[in-house]
Amino acid sequence: MDSAGNRAYQGRNVSDTPHVVVIAQPRALSSIRRVVQVNVEVDQPARFSPKSSAIILMVAAIFSFSLMDVGVKSLAADIGVLPSLWARYAGQMLIVLILIAPRLKRVARTRYPKTQFLRSLLMMTATAFFFTGLSKIPLTDAAALMLTNPLIVTLGAAAFLGEKLGPRRILGIFVAMCGAMIVIRPGSDVFSPAAFYPLTAAVCYSGYVLLTRRVGSDEDVWTSLFYTGLVGTILLSLAVPFAWQPLSFSNVVVMFLIAGCGTIGQLFLIRAFTLGEAAMLAPFSYAGLIFAAFWGIVLFSEIPDIWTVAGALVIAGAGLYVWHRETYRS
């Protein structure tokens, strides 16, 4: 292009040459990109901290398990505990296999085969004892006895995992335990031989939680979920033919509800203990007592007395106290 053409070209209005800005102003565009990037980052909503996320996931897991317990209590009365237990694990195994089918080989690889087997066995045993307790005592009572597990988890985390057991965590656990004691009131009819089922479940579940925390982020969440379903399905499939009962359509629907809620709850639970310390999350297990009381009123006409309401308020207060201290302290 000659000098006259250059002068004519340079004299054209920028609006007539939209591509000239892109070619001739790379530094300006780079600055614009940086400004836009900063603005986007500022405008994005703040994300939850790992501790807050762990607490939210923990409460969501407890809620899912409460729905599963409702299904088990209604189903066990029709077909028995063992088929209900089998439905919980076989259904979870089916759901997990569908979701991880494209990457099954990778998910099935584990660095801790013995630990995965032991934690899965403990979870299955805890579920079996708790389901048996649900079939014999009221939902709220079984939930209250099961909720002795946070104390065991907190002490076990300090003893075996080296987690800190500060005065505030101890206070939160102690207050929550007092709330549970207000509900179950030692010396009342709650302490019958059937009460040992949920108490034994609490011990087994605590061992499962501690092993889940020990595995931590070294394993994919789906790997832990896969082995929990696999171990339970294999062992229970060997026993369930001897206790099988004919199923109605409503029984099948409830079985799917149990499997779905159990799978979702365990997925949330594993993720929660991957993000947060066991001692910090322990008090939020007591939310299950509140959920159990609600479902007992709505679905089973089990009206809680004033002591249950008072205990639930104490439990909720303890959980909120620990959550506030863990997420907002400097």
**What pLDDT digit, counting tens, does each position of 6-65 carry?**
444 444 443 443 443 344 444 544 443 444 343 433 344 447 788 888 889 999 999 999
158 occurs within a structural domain: yes
Q: Is 186 left (phi over 0), alpha (psi -120 to 50) or beta?
A: beta
Cβ atoms of 126 and 208 closer than 8 Å: yes
- Per DSSP, the three-state class of 188 is coil
What pLDDT sits at residue 329? Answer: 59
259 occurs within a structural domain: yes
261: Cβ contacts below 8 Å, ≥ 6 apart: 64, 65, 67, 68, 71
237 occurs within a structural domain: yes
Tokens linked to 241:
């033919």
Range of the domain at 76: 72-328
67 occurs within a structural domain: no
20 occurs within a structural domain: no
What pLDDT sits at residue 99? Answer: 87
Q: CA-to-CA distance for 147 and 150, rounded, in angstroms?
A: 6
pLDDT exceeds cutoff 80 at 327:
no
123: Cβ contacts below 8 Å, ≥ 6 apart: 204, 205, 208, 228, 232, 266
Q: CA-to-CA distance for 267 and 178, rounded, in angstroms?
A: 29
The domain total for the chain is 1
Q: CA-to-CA distance for 277 and 52, rounded, in angstroms?
A: 12
Least confident of 143-147, 180-184, 204-208: 180-184
| Average pLDDT over all residues of the chain | 79
DSSP 245: -
**pLDDT tens readout for residues 254-280:** 999 999 998 899 889 888 888 888 777
7 occurs within a structural domain: no
What pLDDT sits at residue 8? Answer: 45
- How sure is the predictor about 150, in pLDDT bands with cuts at 50, 70 and 90? confident
Q: Which residue has the tokens 């500060």?
A: 166
Q: CA-to-CA distance for 248 and 295, rounded, in angstroms?
A: 23
209 occurs within a structural domain: yes
- How sure is the predictor about 139, in pLDDT bands with cuts at 50, 70 and 90? confident
In 3D space, the residue among 74, 49, 3 whose CA is nearest the CA of residue 327 turns out to be 49
48 occurs within a structural domain: no
pLDDT exceeds cutoff 70 at 109:
yes
pLDDT exceeds cutoff 90 at 117:
yes
Tokens linked to 238:
């060997």
Q: CA-to-CA distance for 127 and 139, rounded, in angstroms?
A: 14
What pLDDT sits at residue 9? Answer: 44
What pLDDT sits at residue 304? Answer: 74
